[in-house]
Amino acid sequence: MNIETELRAALADEATFAGDEVQPYPAFLQRERKNQRARRIRVATSVAAVVAVVGAAAGMQALGSGQADRSAPASEQEKPSLVVPSRALVDSPLRGSLATNEKFLNAMLPKVVAHENREAKLLYASDVGNQRLVLAYVAAPSASLEDQPSEASSLSWFTGPRGASAKRLTKSQGAEGTRPASGVTDVSNDAEGLAVMVGPVGYTVELTNSTQARYTAEGTVEQGGVFASSKKDSGLVEEVLAPHAVPPSITATLTKDGKTLPIESEGMAWGESGVDMDAYTAKAEAALGDNSSDPAALGARLKDALDTAALPLEGTDLKVRYAGTFRGQDLNVFTLQQPGQGVLAFAYYWSSEGSGVSLRLLLPAEGIDSRPIAYHPQEQHGPSEETIVVAPEGAERVTVTVEGEDPIEVDLKAGIGAVDADPAKEAIATAYAPDGSEMGSTPVRSLAGSRANIGDTPETRVVP
């Protein structure tokens, strides 16, 4: 069985891990999140779907909400936190272009009640772009609409084609009813999409697209600006989106009286077609040089990394730090860099037991070729004590120093090795030249949460 056949077969595997699962062939054009087979996934319904090998992925994912750590590097000042009353969204009036369409509403509400078998209230109903969207608040079992929202209550989205009757709408996503806002985002590379966020009346909603962010050479992120904003205090933003070349990462913020609350995205729908995987394979093959690793497999991982970082294929430099087998797994460790910008490091693995990504990290450009790359692989319940270290070219030795302990020598073979180190403690990997001089060092990192954008959090960058 060759690598291509094995990778295709891996698409059907149920292997999971406590990070992001990756399908390492053209079918993995769409990044699959750690809860791939749960409700928070990039698909048209709330169950997982296998992405076709033909390379077309489409669907809808509801965007829920909650307080997220969207902290940028230290250069950005933190804004005051906004506390939203638990019933602010539920007590808001019905909004949207269909809010006065009594015929539709009189058919839609009984449908929601029958579907959920609970008391329900419509919060939003509208045609946006080519879709019809309805958001309903559903009370907890045995509770009434007057009771306080609880984790057992829900915010349920029903979707269908623009102009569809209530009968044609289907439930696409549910989120906890305690959330202060909820939304839907649907984007593709060849058709218009949409971004809708429904918050409480009396608040302003802003949408930001991190696809417009820039990775600076100093190793920080300059976030993209606000691209859509609600009318003041309306609590509702509806935006039709143009096609995107790469999957965007759209975030929302509630604002009131100068205070803000970031709304955490639970995913989106990403549809993609007409992708030329040969171009990714060719770039991978050139970067591999004399390395005998499969360029198609690396090309698929390159595609996923570029999508994750919202970087184009053209003009992005790919440097392979390691490609081969390590401890029974196929492993690719590589960096990506746009001219004059920071460097993004990725580590992907694949074996008969599963596949995934173990590292996404933003590094300063200066001295990148002298830095080791070190990370804790993911296990089912969190980062492993094992620390994988990839030495820079020309390094004679590498050590890992855990906070408060003596340096540990890494047994390097073909430029890679591993040591055990407590992932709960800070650790630094340091490379040394043959003359004993220090070449460079890098903090050891673990994979950040699946919704953390690269460079946004301390776990995904090395600068303070």
Contact call for residues 98 and 133 (beta carbons, < 8 A): no
Task: Look at residues 364, 369, 311, 322 and name the one whose alpha carbon lies nearest to residue 341.
Answer: 364
Eight-class DSSP state of 278 = H
Residue whose C-alpha is closest to residue 269's, from 204, 194, 325, 215: 194
Closest CA to 296 of 26, 31, 13: 26
Tell me the backbone φ, ψ of residue 322, rounded to 5 degrees: -160, 135
What does each of the 464 residues of the chain score in pLDDT, given as a tens digit? 334 333 433 433 333 333 343 333 333 333 333 333 232 233 322 222 222 222 333 333 333 333 333 333 433 444 548 999 999 999 999 999 999 999 999 999 999 999 999 999 999 999 999 999 999 999 999 999 999 999 999 999 999 999 999 999 999 988 999 999 999 999 998 899 999 999 999 999 999 886 667 899 999 998 777 899 999 999 999 999 999 887 887 889 999 999 999 987 656 788 888 789 999 999 999 999 999 999 999 999 999 999 889 898 999 999 999 999 999 899 999 999 999 999 999 999 998 888 899 999 999 999 999 999 999 998 878 899 999 999 999 999 999 999 999 999 999 999 999 999 999 999 999 999 999 999 999 999 998 866 567 988 888 999 98
Please give the structure tokens belonging to residue 160. Answer: 């269908």
Across 385-421, b (16+ Cβ under 10 Å) vs e yields: eebbbbbbeebebbbbbbeeeeebebebeebbbbbeb
Token code pair at residue 229: 């904003």
Alpha-carbon span 119 to 139, nearest angstrom: 6
Q: Which contacts qualify for 350-354: CB closer than 8 Å, 24 or more apart? A: 350/7, 350/10, 350/22, 350/24, 350/297, 352/6, 353/15, 354/13, 354/15, 354/16, 354/17, 354/21
Torsion angles phi and psi, residue 366, rounded to 5: -65, 130
Residue type, 390: V
Pair type for strands 131-138 and 170-176:
unpaired
Give pLDDT, residue 264.
Answer: 73
Ranges of each domain in the chain? 3-33+275-460, 61-271
Whole-angstrom CA distances from 432 to 11, 62, 127, 437, 440 are 41, 49, 61, 6, 7
Instruction: State the pLDDT at residue 195.
Output: 94
- In terms of phi and psi (left: phi > 0; alpha: psi -120 to 50; beta: otherwise), the region of 235 is left
Pairing relationship of beta strands 373-376 and 445-446 according to DSSP bridges: parallel
Instruction: Please give the distance of CA 66 from its chain centroid, rounded to a whole number.
Output: 15
CA atoms 201, 137, 182, 171: torsion sign: negative
In whole angstroms, give the CA distance from residue 420 to residue 410. Answer: 10
- Strands, E, within 352-447: which ranges? 354-363, 373-376, 378-379, 382-383, 386-390, 397-402, 408-409, 416-420, 427-432, 438-443, 445-446
Q: Minimal CA–CA distance to 124: which of 170, 194, 41, 181? A: 181
**Quick one: how far is CA 36 from the chain centroid?**
12
Q: How many CB atoms neighbour CB 8 within 10 A?
A: 15
Please count the CA atoms within 13 angstroms of the CA of 27 that sit on its side-chain side: 17
pLDDT at 184: 93
The pLDDT, as a whole number, for residue 295 is: 97
SS3 assignment, position 212: helix
Report the pLDDT value the prediction gives residue 335, as an integer from 0 to 100.
Answer: 98
235, 202 Cβ separation under 8 angstroms? yes
**pLDDT score of 37:** 29
Q: Give the containing element (helix H, strand E) for 110.
A: helix 102-116
User: What six digits make up the tokens of 94?
Assistant: 């019905």
Beta bridge partners of 176: 154
In angstroms, the CA 213 to CA 457 distance is 14
Q: What is the DSSP letter of 81?
A: B
